[in-house]
Amino acid sequence: MRLSPLEKDLLAKGYSYIAGIDEAGRGAWAGPVVAGAVILPLDNPEIESILAEVCDSKKLKPLQREKLFEVISASAVSWGVGFVPPERIDRIGIVKATREAMALAISQLNPPPQFLLIDYLRLPEVPIPQEAIVSGDDYCLSIAAASIVAKVIRDNWMKAMDAVFPGYSFSDHKGYGTSKHREALQKLGPSPIHRSSFAPVKAFSLRTEQLS
């Protein structure tokens, strides 16, 4: 993936530390929402070739993402992740939780970013110049890199939860709404890491209460 015109323009204006931010797990029924923040050395003339295979994480296979995560983390000036757990999502809503995860990821960056390129959302509570970009992971190298970081970290966390909460097949669907996930909910009811405020989970919670 090549640098976007916006990234090139920010470099020309003198910004050295430009952070891309994206999330994973926003639409899932279970697990946290996880944000990735990445500052790449965009002024490195080799960065486009080093990260040539980087693109929106949803377009990559798991092994490709894992490989690219290693390349990104080794190449980045700095990277961070932010987790917001399901109980917090239920309390404040998924949009606020996503912004909170993004802010947490940004807070881990050192040096601190001078400009933020964010997939879709704005972060009014973060006092750093920023641009929200619809489908930013298709457009900006920095955001695409952040999407891979967030996706790999979250997927690995959900795989670990498969051993803690067996029977839900979290390793397969990573908490997203699939027929296998729906069947597990019907059989077992929600687990402690399910988002009880999400309609499909809430329906099974109410059904369990009625049967008890």
pLDDT score recorded for residue 117: 98
Q: Per-block average pLDDT, block size 10, for the chain (212 residues)?
A: 97 98 98 98 97 96 98 98 98 98 98 98 97 96 98 98 97 97 94 95 67 42
- If DSSP codes are grouped into helix, strand and coil, which group holds residue 115? strand
pLDDT score recorded for residue 108: 98
pLDDT score recorded for residue 136: 94
d(CA 35, CA 102): 5
- Bridge-based pairing of strands 33-39 and 115-119 is unpaired
User: pTM of the prediction?
Assistant: 0.95
- Bridge-based pairing of strands 130-133 and 115-119 is parallel
pLDDT score recorded for residue 46: 97
Helix 199-211 to helix 179-188 angle, to the nearest 10 degrees? 20
Report the 10 Å Cβ neighbour count for 169.
Answer: 15
Domains, the chain, with CATH or none: 5-160 (3.30.420.10)
**Rounded to 5 degrees, what angle do the CA atoms 53, 56, 60 make?**
65
**Helices marked H in 13-135 — which ranges?**
47-50, 62-75, 86-92, 94-107
pLDDT score recorded for residue 212: 44
The 8-class DSSP code of residue 3 comes to P
Question: What separation in angstroms does the CA of 146 have from each of 44, 49, 74, 88, 96?
Answer: 18, 17, 13, 22, 19
pLDDT score recorded for residue 209: 45
